[in-house]
Amino acid sequence: MTWYVGTVVVVMAAFSLLLYLSLRRSLLASTDEALRNTAQDITTALIEEHDEAVGVIVSECITDKHHAGQVQVLVRPAFGPPDQILAVFTGEPAAESLPLTAAARGGALRGSASFETSGPVRGSAWRTLTFAVRDVGAQYIIQVGMSLKPVTETLRRLAVTLLVSVPLLLAVLTLFGYFFIRGAFQPVRRMVATVHSIRADDLSRRVTDVESPDEIGELAATFNAMLGRIERAFDEVRQFSSDAAHELKTPLTALRGEMEVALRKEREPAEYRAVLASGLEEAAKLERIIDDLLLLARTDAPSSTLMNEPVALDEVVLEAHEETCMQAERMGVSLILNKLDQVGIKGNAMLVRRLLVNLIDNGVKYNRPGGNVSVTLGLEPGDNEARLVVEDTGIGIPAESLPHLFDRFYRVDKARSRDVGGTGLGLAIVKRVAEAHGGMVTVESKPGKGSRFTVVLPVAD
């Protein structure tokens, strides 16, 4: 606001000054022009009519052209006492005569006409043109003077007008600017107020003004989109915390129940052993969940050093195969290694192995005895993406579950997953690891027939 008023003040002051100066300049110029014309008329008349009296000639040149009292003509002898006056035309009786300065007289005698502005004579400044006329019988020094009163009067009126109207205009503009800016910033203020009122526990609020077509509307829409993302992220975190608490509580409740029952009376050592063994199982479950949660937390914000080692994918596949083949054998599922191209990527070998183990583990767990799981690692010539495919002949996944499959703690069949020791975090980890390596994971499945998980990873250059 201040800069706006400041700018307007400076612009208007400059404009006023310019107007005043240029008017003054042109008024003075036209005064000089009028003086020059009169001087020309007098000179011509004096030369043409030199038999008439000087005073008559001069007054003939003046009377009908100028206002009385505003023009004065003095005729003095060129040679003689400087204050001698041969003829005066003043337009007014008993008027004070214009003085003749030595400089003007000297100039006229040397043949040059000179303009002078003299101090107040009869209440106003005068502009005088002094020149000599020589081509006649007598020689004269002639002064033609014009009062500057009309000029100063005009300029004074302009000054007064400017001094009154400029501050008035300024006030109007300032007021207008104030209301304009206020109006323009009204939506922004509303937005700020809304944003102030948004707290973490109420992220459903939205900024209005989205429908205004200008930048404000765009800002509001952008803001709302951001709020939407934050709200979704918050909801996810909330959901995740409650899911995690629930998942952790289940084995703990089981553990506690068994211990309480065992403690109710004296028992045989074999019974104690059974309770301890089952407690150990629950503890192992807890440990698995916590391990997976820690791993997810690490992949959520992977440090660049963690993700920067060269990884030989084919070796990782062999390691993962080794880690899962015992379990596959136990479940009566055969684990097949298909094509195994040599592929190097940049990332973290431990995480990629986890990704693969999770996929193979699922393929084995959600299978049927006699089924199989096959792993393929392929790199087409000239291709810069490695394709890791884990395919099984298992129970498959219903289509409606596919969109949620990679969510944390999501399971198609909770009971079955728990029975086989699943935490519901396996595929979430797969997705996070693939994305942390700049890749992605997709799934195709036919219920009752089997599933195929494809991981695409960019190869190292």
Ligand X SMILES: Nc1ncnc2c1ncn2[C@@H]1O[C@H](COP(=O)(O)OP(=O)(O)O)[C@@H](O)[C@H]1O
Which one of Mg ion, ligand X, none is in contact with 394 (Cβ closer than 5 to 8 A by kind)?
ligand X
Which one of Mg ion, ligand X, none is in contact with 191 (Cβ closer than 5 to 8 A by kind)?
none
Q: Which is nearer to ligand X, 130 or 358 (CB)?
A: 358
> Site for Mg ion (CB under 5 A): how many residues?
3
The stretch among 50-58, 248-256, 402-410, 420-428 that binds Mg ion (CB under 5 A) is: 420-428
The stretch among 39-47, 190-198, 236-244, 419-427 that binds Mg ion (CB under 5 A) is: 419-427
Question: What is the rounded distance in angstroms from the CA atom of residue 302 to the CA atom of residue 409?
Answer: 21
Which one of Mg ion, ligand X, none is in contact with 247 (Cβ closer than 5 to 8 A by kind)?
none
Question: What is the rounded distance in angstroms from the CA atom of residue 26 to the CA atom of residue 146?
Answer: 15
The stretch among 11-19, 141-149, 359-367, 371-379 that binds Mg ion (CB under 5 A) is: 359-367
CB of 357 to Mg ion, least distance (A): 9
Q: Which is nearer to Mg ion, 128 or 417 (CB)?
A: 417
Token reading at 326: 């015992």
Footprint of ligand X on this chain (CB under 6 A)? 358, 362-363, 366, 392, 394-397, 405, 410-413, 417, 422-428, 451
Q: Which is nearer to ligand X, 166 or 350 (CB)?
A: 350
Q: Which is nearer to ligand X, 235 or 444 (CB)?
A: 444
Q: Amino acid identity of 161?
A: T
Binds Mg ion (CB under 5 A): choice among 38, 324, 348, 362? 362
Q: Which is nearer to ligand X, 227 or 317 (CB)?
A: 317
Q: Which is nearer to Mg ion, 145 or 422 (CB)?
A: 422
Q: Which is nearer to ligand X, 209 or 292 (CB)?
A: 292
The stretch among 266-274, 343-351, 355-363, 391-399 that binds Mg ion (CB under 5 A) is: 355-363
Question: What is the rounded distance in angstroms from the CA atom of residue 212 to the CA atom of residue 209?
Answer: 6
CB of 366 to ligand X, least distance (A): 3
How big is the CA angle at 73 (ends 68 and 76), to the nearest 5 degrees?
155
Question: Does position 451 bind Mg ion by CB under 5 A?
Answer: no
Query: Interface residues with Mg ion (CB under 5 A)?
Result: 362, 422, 426
